[in-house]
Amino acid sequence: MPSPRLLLGVFLFATALAAAQAPRPDVYLITLDTLRADRVGCFGAKDAQTPSLDRLCRDGVRFAQAFTPSPITNTSHATILTGLLPSHHGVTDFALPLAADKPTLANALRAAGYKTGAFIGAVILDSKTLAPGFGRGFDFYFDFPAKAAGKSRYGRVERRALDVVKRAEQWVAATKGPRFAWIHLYDPHDPYDPPPPFAARFKERPYEGEVAYTDSAVGRFLGFLEAHELYRDAVVIVVGDHGEGLGEHGEDTHGIFLYDSTLHVPLIVKLPKQHAAGVSVPTQVRTTDIAPTVLSLLGLPAMAASDGADLAPLWGRGDAAERVAFAETDYPLRFGWAPLRGVRAAGHKYIEAPRAELYDLKADPEEKKNVYEPWNAEVQRLRQTLAAANLRRPDQAAAVPAATVAELKALGYFPEKVGETTASEPSLLPDPKDHIAEQNLLHRAMMAEEDGDSAASRKALEQVLELDPKSYFALAQLGQMELKAANYRAAAPLLTQALEQRPQDATLAAALGRAHYQLGQYADARQMLETSLKLMPGQPEARKLLGAAFLKLKDYSAAEDQLEAAALLMPSDAEIYELQAEAYRALGKAQLAQKAAARAKTLRAARNPKK
């Protein structure tokens, strides 16, 4: 008869073999854009209507103190997918690519045999435009169409949560496991526009209405998993990418400051078979910890580089070892203000800014009393900790491709590349704390413009100029508005003042050139248009207008050159050929003039056929 020791060895071997051969669990990562932790029921919100997230807290592990390193969507998501801090993964601004040498969770899981799909709720995470490189590792990525039809923001720059969830459900149902699905729900982001019946139910609290609606979409997806017997054995992770200011510290939305209102996020991890269900972890953790945790749960090798750590010890044995949380934002640079860096540790937060800040989070959890003193021991310790993290300090904002400018504006962000400085240190730039009222007004102006409310947009921009008469953004935006409204005498001085601050802005120079042309100031128009085309040659409309200006100045040869170039760029523009015909007639080129006029007539007829 075999010995008990031998039988035990066989049993353990068989158990290990069965575990090795067992199918790996599905992983569902649900990121909720702009969701503050304190607006979720199981995180302490007494009047929240978040039954789906509350249910996940009961079924999984709740991390009461989870923090993102960035208050910007694409930057924070790059951290979730890589386990790296923004300075280390490089996506510190809009449209910056996630480099190929930065491995992602999707890469690792696909290499391990997972089917991978990504379902995004806003164009800011589109892998072909504003989030290049995010599609690496995904078999399917639910990008936005190149030319979205209609004027509604839904389908053009944003998707409702239920539309995202339905597409994810289709993919899951059609895909054999193991599966990794990333589902991004954008709705809590402003503008706060909850659909019925949430709009009526939360008439006075539209942000909370968006949260409740998003929670209902999460509930639908969880119900789908249950109906297909996929919920019990799956890993489900729900996390906010960042929070929302909601007026705290004067910040209406997010992106500028590094306070807990925009960095403290809900994080819930539901484990297979509801292991550790109902556990609440008070220890400070970070969204950098998500990717390492998933790989550890699946028994897969860790990434070569990571700024995070496995969360399992915290629910396994209640390990309370502190995890230092870093934070950074470069978004203030878009307004010409200093970027910020911060660190949260040992009950204190230090924010590196032109006017530095220190908060005792135990005595002052709302960060209302800045107790910074340069000789303070906590300041010295946290400064050293922050320096050791090696967070990059840029001296200018990143450039944004022209094709993505409209989308960023529709989402309420300022895409223009500004903030270039000759200062030896970014800390010599203005402190964002001194300008947050301007940023709020600029944001309101952009959202009003997106809604077609030019009066509200104009009022907000005029209020910005009352605070700062030299605000480039307000001058440029108002100038463009006046130009669009054909108020050329009002547009020209506004655009001139803006261009004085940013002489390398080709778009602004072209706009000023158009204003001068319409005012009959053809020499000034020519100068501005030539300046614009030197800075950015590929502007067919600017070339056409420059050709028209040369015609007015009776420089017919120069007009001929510009209009021929414009015709090559816009061969179906009838107006160009009409202008060409005028130039050719003045030059005595009757045959060419006749040919150009005939071409213009054909194009006009094709565009307006007789019924």
How much is the pLDDT for 183? 98
Average pLDDT over residues 288-294: 98
How much is the pLDDT for 51? 98
| Of 244, 402, 400, 393, the residue nearest 334 (C-alpha) | 400
Q: Please report, in angstroms and rounded to a whole number, the separation of the first and last CA atoms in the chain.
A: 100
How much is the pLDDT for 452? 87
Average pLDDT over residues 73-79: 97
Phi, psi of 461 (to 5 degrees): -65, -40
Could you tell me the pLDDT band of residue 539, with boundaries at 50, 70 and 90? very high
- 583, 560 Cβ separation under 8 angstroms: yes
Average pLDDT over residues 453-464: 94
| Of 108, 113, 168, 106, the residue nearest 138 (C-alpha) | 106
Could you tell me the pLDDT band of residue 150, with boundaries at 50, 70 and 90? low
Measured at the CA of 212, the angle between CA 210 and CA 216, to 5 degrees, comes to 115
Chain length of the chain? 611
**In sequence order, what are the residues at sequence separation of 6 or more whose Cβ sits closer than 8 angstroms to the Cβ of residue 387?**
none
For residue 537, what are its two tokens? 């040659």
Structure confidence by residue, pLDDT tens digits, 510-521: 999 999 999 999
340 DSSP β-pair partners: 329
Q: What percent of the chain has pLDDT above 70? A: 91
- 235, 269 Cβ separation under 8 angstroms: yes
Q: Which string of b and e fits 285-294 if b means at least 16 CB within 10 Å?
A: bbbbbbbbbb
For residue 152, what are its two tokens? 């509604």
How much is the pLDDT for 396? 63
pLDDT at 397 over 90: no
Lowest mean pLDDT among 12-26, 193-207, 236-250, 279-293: 12-26
Average pLDDT over residues 483-502: 95
Residue at 515: amino acid letter: A
Q: Would the CA dihedral through 295, 299, 305, 311 be positive or negative?
A: positive
Q: Name the CA radius of gyration of the chain, rounded.
A: 28
Residue at 375: amino acid letter: W
Lowest mean pLDDT among 285-299, 361-375, 449-463: 449-463
pLDDT at 301 over 60: yes
Pairwise pLDDT comparison (373 vs 23), residue with the higher score: 373
Average pLDDT over residues 249-257: 97
Could you tell me the pLDDT band of residue 321, with boundaries at 50, 70 and 90? confident
How much is the pLDDT for 402? 66
pLDDT at 426 over 90: no
Residue 540 CA to residue 562 CA, distance in Å, equals 9
Q: Which of 320-334, 411-425, 551-565 has the highest mean pLDDT?
A: 551-565
How many Cβ atoms sit within 10 Å of the Cβ of residue 64? 17
In angstroms, how far is CA 296 from the centroid of its own chain?
29
| Chain position carrying tokens 């001194």 | 434
Residue 41 CA to residue 483 CA, distance in Å, equals 49
pLDDT at 69 over 70: yes
Structure confidence by residue, pLDDT tens digits, 35-44: 999 999 999 9
**Cα-based distances in Å from 258 to 73, 352, 353, 428:** 14, 10, 10, 19
pLDDT at 149 over 80: no
pLDDT at 20 over 60: no
Structure confidence by residue, pLDDT tens digits, 91-115: 998 889 999 999 999 999 999 999 9
How much is the pLDDT for 415? 67
How much is the pLDDT for 146? 81
Structure confidence by residue, pLDDT tens digits, 37-68: 999 999 999 999 999 999 999 999 999 999 99
Structure confidence by residue, pLDDT tens digits, 110-131: 999 999 999 999 999 999 999 9
| Of 541, 537, 494, 536, the residue nearest 515 (C-alpha) | 494
What is the average pLDDT value for the chain, to the nearest integer? 91
**In sequence order, what are the residues at sequence separation of 6 or more whose Cβ sits closer than 8 angstroms to the Cβ of residue 446?**
409, 412, 414, 457, 477
pLDDT at 421 over 90: no
Residue 23 CA to residue 524 CA, distance in Å, equals 72
How much is the pLDDT for 413? 81
How much is the pLDDT for 87? 95
How much is the pLDDT for 538? 87
Residue 265 CA to residue 36 CA, distance in Å, equals 5
How much is the pLDDT for 152? 81
Could you tell me the pLDDT band of residue 428, with boundaries at 50, 70 and 90? confident
